[in-house]
Structure 1
Amino acid sequence: MNRRRLILTAAAATAAAQPALAAKPAPRLSVKTFAELKTPLPLPYDEAADARAVVDRARAQARRQGKRLLIDLGGNWCPDCRILAGTMALPEFDRFLKTHFVVVMVDVGRFDRNLQIPARYGITGRLPGVPALLVIDPKTDKLLNPGNFSALSNARGMSPQALADWVAGWAA
């Protein structure tokens, strides 16, 4: 009985981590494991940035270009955030992102900075984990993934391809 419950729990967690419908096929990544990523891993979050202004500019750009806005909330201290950033920096994934999204990185410190950004999209209180990816329709400024924005907060427990597949599921 415990094995069955474990399988059902794992299946539910996997389903929750995936978008409802995959909009675009994900790029096939050139790496199979995170050990193959270029090191040192990026420190992707600008701690001095005016997050509100950066998000507003990115939203305007996404609206003009007919792309979705992808807001990556995280911190440079977070290994999962850095792994995601390193995966997103792969040339094939970077091309995919630039085709379908305008991506903005927002430093949330240790869950004590720039929290007005997730609050703008109805996410109040402590974030359940980072990285947290907010997929935004730039025309309506609506959060498209309210139930699973923290799906990649355990990026280390996934594969590089699984990260790309998840993001691709939200591409317009």
Structure 2
Amino acid sequence: MRPALIALLAVTLTVPATGAPAPRVAATSFEQLATPLPVPYDEAANARTQIAAARTRAIKAHKLLLIDLGGNWCLDCRLLAGTMELPELRGFLAKHYEIVIVDVGRFDKNLDIAAKYGLKDHFGGGVPSVLIIDPRTDTLRNPGHTAALADARTLTPQALADWLASWAK
């Protein structure tokens, strides 16, 4: 089997059986994403303040909280960010999630946020690590699957969209 197909199967097997149907994205490969790829991680941001505000908004709007832990040096993080900016996916994500992008530096910043949700030592597989949080209980909904996209480059934009949609309410 081709490595990309194996990776797609691995991600497919690590998502919940429920979730919202993913939108179909037009990009069939990462080469079709806008360039340059986004550099979404604000190194000067106060992540705790951003998360608290997003959690409040998520509760009021009956959405989930999505925390994207990563760094601008990480190609997989930037591919995820570029995919999340696709018009077909951007609206879907806004409907289901309040999103906070958190810079973790070179695994030396905002580690307390990861630890709060049980992630340690390079977050169990690297970055991006995507935390899907129930904002009412402040609990992680995807334990054991937070680093599923850490090898995003082996997937497709649609596979990333499918994974994100699989956790949505």
For normalisation by structure 2, the TM-score amounts to 0.92
The verdict on how the C-alpha distance between 1:26 and 1:15 changes in structure 2, with shifts beyond 3 A counting, is closer
Post-superposition shift, 1:125? 3.0
Pick aligned residue for 1:161 from 142, 158, 162: 158
CA distance in 2, matches of 1:83, 1:126: 19
Number of residue pairs aligned between Structure 1 and Structure 2: 165
CA distance in 1, matches of 2:40, 2:7: 30
Partner residue in 2 for 1:139: 136
Q: How does 1:108-147 map to 2 (within 5 A)?
A: 108-127=104-123, 128-147=125-144
The verdict on how the C-alpha distance between 1:165 and 1:91 changes in structure 2, with shifts beyond 3 A counting, is same
The verdict on how the C-alpha distance between 1:52 and 1:11 changes in structure 2, with shifts beyond 3 A counting, is closer
Partner residue in 2 for 1:76: 72
Larger radius of gyration: 1
8 Å CA contact 1:23, 1:169 repeated in 2: yes
Query: Once superposed, what is the RMSD of the aligned Cα atoms?
Result: 1.8
CA distance in 2, matches of 1:11, 1:155: 10
For normalisation by structure 1, the TM-score amounts to 0.90
Post-superposition shift, 1:12? 7.4
Alignment of 1:32 with 2:32, yes or no, is no
Alignment of 1:41 with 2:22, yes or no, is no
Deviation digits for residues 105-149 of structure 1 (CA, Å, limit 9, x no counterpart): 000001110011111112133322100000000000000001110
The verdict on how the C-alpha distance between 1:147 and 1:87 changes in structure 2, with shifts beyond 3 A counting, is same
Partner residue in 1 for 2:146: 149
Post-superposition shift, 1:19? 1.6
Q: Which runs of 4+ in 1 moved over 4 A?
A: 9-12
8 Å CA contact 1:27, 1:92 repeated in 2: yes
